[in-house]
Amino acid sequence: MKCLEAEREILSRVDDVSFPAELKSHLLQCDSCSSLLRQLKEVDAVFGSAAIVEPSPYLWTRIESRLSECPQSLGWVAWHPLRTQAWLTLAVLVLFSFCLTFFQTQPPLGLERELAENRLLPSVTAGTNPFLIAQAAAVDGRNPFLEAMMPPDENPFK
C-alpha cells in the first residue's frame, strides 16, 4: 500500500477501532502515516471535548412567550387533530339532524303503503301530502293515522 492510498484510508477511518490488515501493516512500516493517524486522533479528541456552550436560561421563556403570542399559528397545539375532531363532530351532528328529521316525517312503512293505495284516508288522497298532514297534526297533539281508522262520527276532532 502506498502512502497516498493509506492517507485516504486513514482520513476516513480515524474513528475506527480496527483497520484493514493492509493498512495496519503499512502503519507499522511508515512513520509519516502513523504520525498522521496519531495527529488526527488528537485533533478529533480536542474537538470532541470542546467546551459545551450553555444557552441562556431565559431562552425557553422567550420561546414560550412567542408561541403564546400567536395562538392561531400554534401548530404544536394540535391544529391537525382538532380539525379532525371538528369534522367528526360536525358529521355526527349532521347525521343526527338528518335522522331526527327523517324519522319525524316518515310514517310506518305498512301505513305508507295503505295510504298510497287509498285505503285509509280518502280525503287525504285529494292532492295533499299525507306526511305533511301527519306532521301538522302531530303539532296539535293528534294522531292522524288513528283518526283515519275511526269512523267519522266517533272522531272527537271532526
Partner 1 sequence: MLEKGPERKELIKLVEQVQNGDGYSCHVLYNLYSKPVYNFVFRLIGRAEDAEDLTQETFLKVFNEVAKLRDPAQFKFWLYRIARNEVYQRIRRLKRQSEVSIDDEDVGYHEFLRSRDSGPEASLLSKELEGHIQRALGAMPLKLREVFILGVVQKFSYDEVTQIVGRSLLSVKTDIYRARLIAKEVIGKYLQKTADEMSRSRKRDS
Name which position in 17, 55, 122, 127 contacts partner 1 (CB under 8 A).
55
Nearest-approach distance from CB 86 to partner 1, in angstroms: 14
Nearest-approach distance from CB 28 to partner 1, in angstroms: 22
**Distances 150 to 75, 106, 117, 153 between C-alpha atoms, Å:** 65, 21, 18, 8
Query: Taking contact as CB under 8 A, which single stretch among the options 68-76, 112-120, 122-130, 133-141 is the one that binds partner 1?
Result: 68-76
**Distances 90 to 25, 84, 85, 99 between C-alpha atoms, Å:** 74, 10, 9, 14
Name which position in 52, 109, 126, 139 contacts partner 1 (CB under 8 A).
52
Nearest-approach distance from CB 41 to partner 1, in angstroms: 10
User: Grid coordinates standing for 20?
Assistant: 484493514
- DSSP letters, 108-140, are PHHHHHHHHTTSS-TTTTTT--HHHHHHHHHHT
Q: Interface with partner 1 includes 56 (CB under 8 A)? A: yes
Name which position in 44, 91, 105, 118 contacts partner 1 (CB under 8 A).
44
**Cβ pair 26, 55 in contact under 8 A:** no
Q: Interface with partner 1 includes 87 (CB under 8 A)? A: no
Residue closer to partner 1, measured from CB, 73 or 104? 73
Output phi, psi for 139, to 5 deg: -65, -35
Residues that bind partner 1 (CB under 8 A): 8, 11-12, 14, 39-40, 42-44, 46-56, 59-60, 62-64, 66-67, 73-82
